[in-house]
Amino acid sequence: MNIMHMKYAVEVAKAGSINKASESLLIAQPNLSRSIKELEADLGITIFSRTSKGMTLTPDGEEFIGYASNILDQLDGIEMMYKAGIPARQIFSISVPRATYIADAFAEFSGSIGKDSAEIYYMETNSANTIKNLLEHNYKLGIIRYASRFDKYFKSLLEGKGLGYELIAEFCYVLIMNKCHPLAHKDEICLDDLKPYIEITLADTYVPSLPVFNEITDKRSEGCSRHIYVYDRAAQFHLLTQNPRTFMWASSLSEHILNRFGLVQKVCSDNRNPQKDVLIHRKDYKFSDLDKRFITELCSSKRKQSWDIR
């Protein structure tokens, strides 16, 4: 497989057409088209669907372009690393669940970035995407969250994919609600108390290979008939702030976040579904200085939380 052909394919995917890519690459259109066909023949797959509107990626093509982009980025990094007079870039990448204590750790960690060139990647997503990011998109670290009852499933999955793992935290979700919520001043809350209110749920948290609905219902309040599904953690806080009849389940929040958004957190006496946050990485991966700094901040942030473990 020719590296230049790989570069051509990535450019065509970005441009969406042979014509635009040929202009960007300064190569004749027939030559570019022939190179793409040769690449497809070498791989034994169809990378692009050719239509009157341009070039679109096939499922095989999307997977190939993902790998190819990573390889080209690594080649660029090697070239930059060994050019005289150019300092090595600091690179840090992590894929995590939407959790305030992790976001707080990342914010503190950002202050440790020195004056040298640095590229920092921080993605909030579900466990399935985090595992995929490490395996396919060159992320170095990940944190996955899952119900403890799925522990054997995830450990088997991670080991099968050559990923190491370390427990960060084990906890039960607490209830987060507006300080003006009708239940905000109740000393003890049970699931039946939540039935008249609206539950806010992150919509993309699921277990790989299990139906999406199974994991979503794992967090739902029994008997609660109104749910708002969102994909953005900030949207959750806005809803809680603006609508005092909403609530959500979350890992414990720090006092400054609760005060900032006018929220309170409550323990639910019926909640006996422990969760785990687990740090993952490739088994042969050696932590960089930036990785170690982030993990230090993560441990510090975790200690500031009031974890409810049953």
Tokens of 100: 């305030």
**Nearest-angstrom CA–CA distance, 21 and 11:** 6
From the options 3.40.190.10, 3.20.20.140, 3.90.1580.10, 1.10.10.10, give the CATH code of 3-82: 1.10.10.10
What are the residue ranges spanned by the domains of the chain? 3-82, 90-167+277-303, 173-271
In this predicted structure, what is the pLDDT of residue 254? Answer: 85
Q: Which two tokens stand for residue 53?
A: 């509107």
Strands (DSSP E) found in 203-262: 226-230, 246-250
Domain 90-167+277-303: CATH class, spelled out: alpha beta
Place of tokens 């396919």: 136
pLDDT at 87: 58
* Vertex 7 angle, CA 281 and 22, to 5°: 150
Contact present, 178 and 236 (Cβ < 8 Å):
no
Question: What's the pLDDT score for residue 90?
Answer: 80
Give, for all 310 residues of the chain, the pLDDT tens digit.
Answer: 788 899 999 999 999 988 898 888 888 888 889 999 999 999 999 999 988 778 899 999 999 999 899 888 888 877 766 665 555 668 899 999 999 999 999 999 998 887 777 889 999 999 999 999 999 988 999 999 999 999 999 999 999 999 999 999 999 999 999 999 999 999 889 999 999 999 998 876 544 455 544 444 455 566 678 889 888 888 999 999 999 999 999 998 888 889 999 999 999 888 778 999 999 999 989 999 999 999 999 999 988 876 554 4
Tokens linked to 97: 């669940």
Q: 3-82 and 90-167+277-303: same fold?
A: no
What is 29-75 written as a DSSP string? HHHHHHHHHHHHHHHTS--EEEETTEEEE-HHHHHHHHHHHHHHHHH
- The pLDDT, as a whole number, for residue 309 is 46
Q: What is the CATH number of domain 173-271?
A: 3.40.190.10
Q: Are 120 and 146 in contact (CB under 8 A)?
A: no
User: CA-CA distance, 205 to 257, in Å (whole number)?
Assistant: 23
